[in-house]
Every structure is written in C-alpha cells, then in structure tokens.
A and B are shown apart, each in its own frame.
Chain A
C-alpha cells in the first residue's frame, strides 16, 4: 500500500525565515496531496492541497510543489510568524479515497 515519508520531524526557525517540509510517496496512483496544520489538542486543518495535474500552487505565504516523476511534494512557508507554530502533516490518496498521512513535522517559530 501507499507509504508517505515526511521530513524533517522537527523544524525550528526564526520569525521571518522560510520553512520547507518535504514528503515522498510510493504509490504512483496517488493523485491528491493535501497539507494539514494541527495545533495541540485540536483538529487537523486543511491549509493547502495540490492535484497531480499541477506542479505548483500558492496561497499567500504558503506554497506547495509536486514532482510526480520523483514522487515527492513539499510545503513552503515564507515570512514565518509565531502563529505558524504547529504540527504539519502531508498526505496522499492512493486509489483516490482515504488520506495516508506522513508522521508530521513539528514547526517552532521563535520571535
């Protein structure tokens, strides 16, 4: 089945710096790649997603890139702010149904 690897597991940056989180997937049939942000004790919140027919998508300070050939996708956050501190999860959808999640990245933004 699908396996999603996510790196790094923890990431510490200074306010205003950029943060990059990378994921790889194994199933070439996966066609939808969302990113979720989860604050402690709260629900995962969809922040951005990308489909397999698109290489890059941007929404204000966040962007996602997808390389289908290499089977990897990345989340880029620019001008980080303390409120960006959270756990970020990538996911893929093999067979187009359930989300298979990476293990998560704990992002800490210090001011």
Chain B
C-alpha cells in the first residue's frame, strides 16, 4: 500500500458524459500527479499540482481538467467522454518539498474508466 488513495476503483459510463476521479495523496505530500495508462499510449503524464497550484501540464486534453483542494486532495474531471478515453487513470504523490520534482513518486491503485 503506497498511502495514495483513489476513488472510485471502477467507473463505467457512456460517451458524452462527464466523470470526476478523486485522489488523496500520502500524508504530508504536497505534489499530486495524474497519469493515464492505455494499451496503445502507455503511461502518459497529464498534469501536476503542487500545494493547490498547477505546476506542469502534459498531454492533457482540453476536455479534461483538474484541481487540488486546500486539504491537498485532487480531482480529475473528464467531460464529453469518448470511447478512446477508456483507460486506467493513476494519481501519484511526491515527497518533493518544492514541487520541482526529482523525488520519488508513489502511485495510487488507479481508477479504471470504461466508456461505452
């Protein structure tokens, strides 16, 4: 157990819908990262938040957005869902004290999203 929690574990929804994935980082970790894992694209970085502020952006679609709340939990919002959005979504938290990375990242158990 990494100490990072994610809910829900599984999510099945229809095309065009909107979903919210939730992540709670390890106690004391200020950085949260979101990754998408699909069979054809592998593990891809989406976005990073550090202490409530967006710190880095990767291959995140405009239909996707995220935020980090004062209690440091984070939510990833996916809207206008398409079949191709079906994937495992992982959240990771980092020990970084500055948000500039180069520190260990610990992954949560993931949310499996299926879009039908």
Contact residues of A with B, CB < 8 Å? 31-32, 34, 36, 42-46, 49, 51, 89, 93, 95-104
Contact = CB atoms under 8 A, between A and B. Distances in A.
A9 B92 CA distance: 24
B104 interface: yes
A46 B104 contact: yes
Nearest to B46: A98
Nearest to A102: B42
Contacts of B103: 32
B100 A96 contact: yes
A97 B100 contact: yes
Given A98-B58, A104-B42, A45 B102 contact: no
A51 B92 CA distance: 19
A59 to B, nearest CB: 13
Contacts of B55: 97
Interface of B: 2, 33, 35, 42-45, 48, 55-56, 58, 90, 92, 99-110
B110 A43 contact: yes
Given A42-B109, A43-B109, A98 B104 contact: no
Nearest to A6: B42
A6 to B, nearest CB: 9
> Mostly helix, strand, loop or mixed at chain B's interface?
strand
Contact of B45 (A44, A96, A98, A103): A98
Contacts of B2: 43, 45
B105 A34 contact: yes
Contact of B90 (A34, A44, A103): A44
A45 B4 CA distance: 12
A97 B56 contact: yes
B101 A97 contact: yes
Contact of A43 (B33, B100, B108): B108
Contacts of A32: 101-103
Contact of A98 (B42, B90, B101): B101
B85 to A, nearest CB: 19
Nearest to B58: A98
A2 B90 CA distance: 21
Contacts of A43: 2, 90, 107-110
